[in-house]
Every structure is written in structure tokens, then in C-alpha cells.
Amino acid sequence: MYHPLLGDLRQLKDADLEAKIIDLSKKYHIAARMGQGVAANQIVVALESYKSEQSRRQVEANNKLKTQDKDLDGLINVN
């Protein structure tokens, strides 16, 4: 789900993205413990956006690794 106030998440560095996810997770748990359901729901929407971006980056990195692995197939000749 997209959160309109987050801006472009693709511009964040991986470390900043991870820090935001950790920070929002802590804030979510605080809001949930205090009975602030509306605030907790808004935090979940933002958190899902950050996690979605993190997942997209992981898939992209995995695809790059798979492409590199295919290039190495011709180098190894086992008889």
C-alpha cells in the first residue's frame, strides 16, 4: 500500500530504509500497547510501504545474482 506522505522511497539508502523499519516497528508496538488503534493503523500503512520497498530491492538483488550465475556456467567444465 502506498503512503502519500512518505515520498520516493527509492532514494533512501539501504541502511536508512532498515533504520526506518526498525523505528516504525517500535512506534507501532508503543501505540498498540497504549490502545491507540488509529495511530497504530497509520503506522502499519507506512511500515508496509517501507517493507515493500525493502522486498523490491531484495528481489532486484536476487535477480542480479541469478544473472551473474548464468554467466559463470560456461567457465566451469567438468568432465
Range of the domain at 38: 13-72
- Amino acid making up residue 57: R
> What are the pLDDT digits (tens) for 22-54?
999 999 999 999 999 999 999 999 999 999 999
The answer to whether position 26 is within a domain reads yes
What cell numbers appear for 51 in the block? 517493507
Count: domains in the chain: 1
> What SS3 state is found at 59?
helix
The span from the first CA to the last CA of the chain, in angstroms, equals 51
- Positive or negative, the Cα torsion across 56, 62, 68, 74? negative
Does the predicted TM-score (pTM) go above 0.85? no
- Within 10 angstroms of residue 60's Cβ, the number of other Cβ atoms is 10
The answer to whether position 45 is within a domain reads yes
Question: So what's the pLDDT on residue 70?
Answer: 65
Question: So what's the pLDDT on residue 17?
Answer: 94
Mean pLDDT, the chain, rounded, equals 87
d(CA 12, CA 29): 24
